[in-house]
Chains A and B, each alone.
With several copies, the nearest count.
Chain A
Amino acid sequence: MIDKQCKSAAEAVEGIKDGAVILVGGFGQTGEPMDLLDAIAARGLRDLTIVANGGGSGEHGIGRLLAAGCVRKLVCSFPRVPGSVAFEELYEQRAIELEIVPQGTIAERVRAGGAGIPAFYVPTGAGTELADGKELREFEGRTFVMEHAIKGDVAVIKADRADRWGNLTYRLSARNFNPVMAMGAELTIAQVEECVPLGGMDPETIITPSIFVDRVVEIPGGVSNG
C-alpha cells in the first residue's frame, strides 16, 4: 500500500542535505509551508539555496530559516515586505546572495525544471539590467531573453487536502506557487490541513496529482506569523 503520509514535520524533512536547492511555495504568508520550514531550520542545515517568491517575514517559515543562518542564497522576485527583518539584516551585512528574478520567470523556470525543458525564451526583462549577462535572441523582430530551468533538490509546499497517495488541493489563492514548486523538485514535501481517505477527492478537482508528491504531513492550523 502506498502511503506518503509522515507523522510529523520533522519526519517529513528528513534526509534534506546541506547545500540543497529548496523550492518553497507561498505568496506572502498565504500558502507558505511554515511548519516544514521551521522543521528544516531546526535541523540546522547550512548553505541552502531557497527559491521562492519572497524573503519571508516574521519568525516562522523562510524568516526563521534566514535568521537561523541556514541560507546561502535566495532566488526570488520580491525579497522584502514589512516584517522581512531576518532578510534585511542579512542583506545589510552582505551575508546572503540574492538573485532577483521576475515573478513570472521564476514560475516558468521552475515549471521548466519539472517539465524536462532546459531553457526557453521570454520577453520579460529584455532591455533591463535583469537581462545583463543573459543570452538574447530575436524572434520576429522582438528581443527575448533565454532563461534556464531551475531544478530543486527539494520542494516544500502547503496544501489544503491530501490523500495517502499525495493528491493535493489548495485553498483559493493559497494555491499560488505551490503546484508549480511541487513539479520542480526531486523530493516534494507537502504540509496539509487535512488528510482524507483515498478516493475522497474528486479526480476532476485535484490540482497537484500524486505523481509530483513524495511526502505528506497533516498539520491542521499550523504556525503563522500573524
Chain B
Amino acid sequence: MADGLTRNQMAWRLGRDIAEGSYVNLGVGIPLLVLEHAPGGREIIFHSENGVLGMKPKDETDGILPDDLTNAGKQPVSLVPGAAMFHHADSFIMIRGGHVDIAVLGAYQVAENGDLANWRLPGSPTAPAVGGAMDLAAGARNVWVICEHNGRDGAPKIVRECTLPLTGPGSVNRIYTDLAIIDVTPDGLVVREKIETLSLEDLQALSGAPLTLANGWRPLEAPDL
C-alpha cells in the first residue's frame, strides 16, 4: 500500500488551496495544523471562534501572556498586523451569517451527500462536547474536512450514510485525507487528487462510498515536513 501524507502534510496541502483574502476558521485537532503550514506570501485571515481574526502561530517574542490570546484549542497564538478582537456573539455572527469563507473541520464520518459527523461517539463514557462545530457546519460558506482516510480500526471515514450522530446535514464541500482530495458534488464524490501510486480501485476499497476520478486528476503530493 502506498504511503499517505502525514498530518502536517495534509494540513500543508489544504493550505495551498486557500485563496488569498480568504477568512478561514480552523477547528481543533488536525485543522489547527493548517495555521503552522499556511502558504507564505499569501494573505489569509484565520478566524478563531473565541474572538480572534488574524491569528498566527505563537511568536514567543510578542510579549503577550499565553493566557490572554488562544486559539479554539486553547493553545497560545499571536496576531498578524490587521488582526481584530471581538466577543463571542459577534464571532458567531461571522460564522452563522456566512461571512467565514472556509471552515476546516475534523471528522469521524463524511457521507457522500456532505453530511458530517464529528462531535459525538455514542457509547463513549465521556460527555458529549460540540463546541462550535455545528455553528461552523451550518454557517460557513465552505466546509472542508481534513481527516485520515480511515480510522484506527481501518473503517472508512467516507461513507454512504453517516451512522454517527450528525454535526450538520449536507455541510461538507471537500475532503482532505492522507490519501486523496475529494469534492462533494451533486453527482457524488469526485477524486481531484490522490496518492499517485494508489489505484482508484485501492482507494475505493478504503472508502465506504462510490468515488469517481476527476478528468485531469493530479497526484497528491507534499514536501517532507
Contact = CB atoms under 8 A, between A and B. Distances in A.
Given A123-B96, A130-B134, A203 B85 contact: yes
Contact of A206 (B48, B85, B127): B85
B70 A175 contact: no
Q: Give the interface centre of B68, B74, B83, B127 by most chain A CB atoms within 10 Å.
A: B127
A129 B89 CA distance: 23
Nearest to A203: B83
Interface in B73-127: 74, 79, 81-89, 91-100, 125-127
B159 to A, nearest CB: 16
Contact of B138 (A100, A126, A129, A165): A126
Interface stretch (A7-15, A40-48, A177-185): A177-185
A99 to B, nearest CB: 11
Contact of A107 (B43, B79, B89): B89
A127 interface: yes
B172 to A, nearest CB: 13
Interface residues of B, number: 58
Contact of A124 (B67, B125, B128, B138): B138
A122 B139 CA distance: 10
Given A165-B45, A199-B82, A29 B67 contact: yes
Contacts of B135: 102-105, 124
B149 interface: no
Interface in A92-127: 92, 98, 100-108, 110-111, 113-117, 122-127
A73 to B, nearest CB: 13
Interface stretch (B5-13, B51-59, B205-213): B51-59
Given A29-B74, A80-B126, A104 B96 contact: yes
A104 B130 CA distance: 11
A124 B134 contact: yes
A209 interface: yes
Contact of A177 (B47, B87, B99, B125): B87
Nearest to B47: A211
Q: Give the interface centre of B53, B100, B125 by most chain A CB atoms within 10 Å.
A: B53
B4 interface: no
B169 A127 contact: yes
Interface in A25-50: 27-30
B70 A30 contact: yes
Contacts of A198: 81-82
B94 A124 contact: no
A5 interface: no
B88 A206 contact: no
Interface residues of A, number: 72
Given A30-B50, A78-B130, A203-B84, A116 B45 contact: no
A27 B125 CA distance: 24
B167 interface: yes
Contact of B87 (A81, A113, A126, A176): A176
A167 B53 CA distance: 11
B49 interface: yes
B87 A178 contact: yes
A107 B88 contact: yes
B67 A128 contact: no
Given A30-B67, A103-B131, A114 B93 contact: yes
Nearest to A103: B132
Nearest to A184: B97
Given A103-B131, A165-B45, A173-B48, A116 B168 contact: no
Contact of B130 (A87, A92, A103, A199): A103
A209 B50 contact: no
A30 to B, nearest CB: 5
Given A102-B134, A176-B51, A167 B92 contact: no
7 contacts: A77-B131, A79-B127, A80-B127, A115-B93, A124-B138, A165-B43, A170-B85
Interface of B: 20-21, 23, 43, 45, 47-54, 64-65, 67-70, 74, 79, 81-89, 91-100, 125-135, 138-139, 165-169
